[in-house]
Amino acid sequence: MPLHVPELKAWAYPLLFATGFTAGLVDSMAGGGGMLTVPVLLNLGLPVPLALGTNKFQASFGSVSASVHYVRNDVVSLRECRLGIAMTLVGALAGAACVQGLDPALLERLVPWLLAAIVVYAVFKPDIGHHDSPPRLGRTPFFAMAGLGLGFYDGFFGPGTGSFWTIALVLLLGQNFVRATGYTKVMNATSNLASLALFAAAGQIALGAGAAMGAGQLVGARLGAGLVVRRGARFVKPLFLGMVALTVARLLWTNFVH
């Protein structure tokens, strides 16, 4: 059943655009844009289901925009990752369907520690992801397993999905951080669109707010993806680790303090 969409003041739309721009810029380079957008939507008075659906709507603008830029600049080959796209789509739909009947409490407590392990590992392996390295797993089994697993996780829970994709691409496929960031955005776009279809079917999207934020996402994501392509892996890695650390702090605060 469609939810009532609260009427927003005129000043809210420039705020939504600016938030979308900032989130798109950050998310296209290092992930974590949802840490900015969801609180803003909630603080503007949108009910939780409506805020989450609107967030998926606006995030789809940014993830698709960044993906297109990475593909056009030969960072990503869609032919190489088409299995990953298909498996991510299936996994995301399954996860979104299961979220109604399963309790995500275990993931809420486990995920911060898994993300923290990524930061610690990268700190003690300072050269990881600066250059391509030999893959530890074939492309077909990697995309089959990661697509289903991380797609399901994104549809079911979500926080940290981009970080898990990036580190998996670096460690298992041997990609540098620029390529891994590009492939991550393609997978994010896939799971965003899958989840968006379910939110849209349930009438849980505030189109005006989502469009304003999505316009900012388009601009910010395009700019951020351009910076990644131009500046390289040594620019991306510290941003990635910083956003992972912030995500860890937010999840720990939400689940163990607040």
Q: Spell out the SS3 assignment of the chain.
A: CCCCCCCCCCCHHHHHHHHHHHHHHHHHHHCCCHHHHHHHHHHCCCCHHHHHHHHHHHHHHHHHHHHHHHHHCCCCCHHHHHHHHHHHHHHHHHHHHHCCCCCCHHHHHHHHHHHHHHHHHHHHCCCCCCCCCCCCCCHHHHHHHHHHHHHHHHHHCCCCHHHHHHHHHHHHHCCCHHHHHHHHHHHHHHHHHHHHHHHHHCCCCCHHHHHHHHHHHHHHHHHHHHHHHHHCHHHHHHHHHHHHHHHHHHHHHHHHHC
pTM of the predicted model as reported, rounded to 2 decimal places: 0.85
pLDDT for 103 equals 62
Whether 161 has a pLDDT exceeding 60, the answer reads: yes
The lowest-confidence range among 33-37, 63-67, 107-111, 188-192 is 107-111
Higher-pLDDT residue of 70, 98 = 70
Residue length of the chain: 258
Q: Which of 19, 80, 29, 61 is CA-nearest to residue 205? A: 61
Q: Which two tokens stand for residue 48?
A: 């939780």
Mean pLDDT score, 171-177: 91
Q: Average model confidence (pLDDT) for the chain?
A: 83
d(CA 36, CA 83): 31
Which sequence spans correspond to the domains of the chain? 12-257
Interval 118-152: pLDDT, tens: 777 666 666 665 777 888 899 999 999 999 999 98
Asked if residue 18 has pLDDT above 90, the reply is yes
Distance from C-alpha of 7 to C-alpha of 204, rounded to nearest angstrom? 15
**Confidence class of residue 5 from pLDDT cuts 50, 70 and 90?**
low
Cβ contacts of 25 within 8 Å, gap of 6 or more? 220, 221, 223, 224
Which of 94, 38, 26 is CA-nearest to residue 62? 26
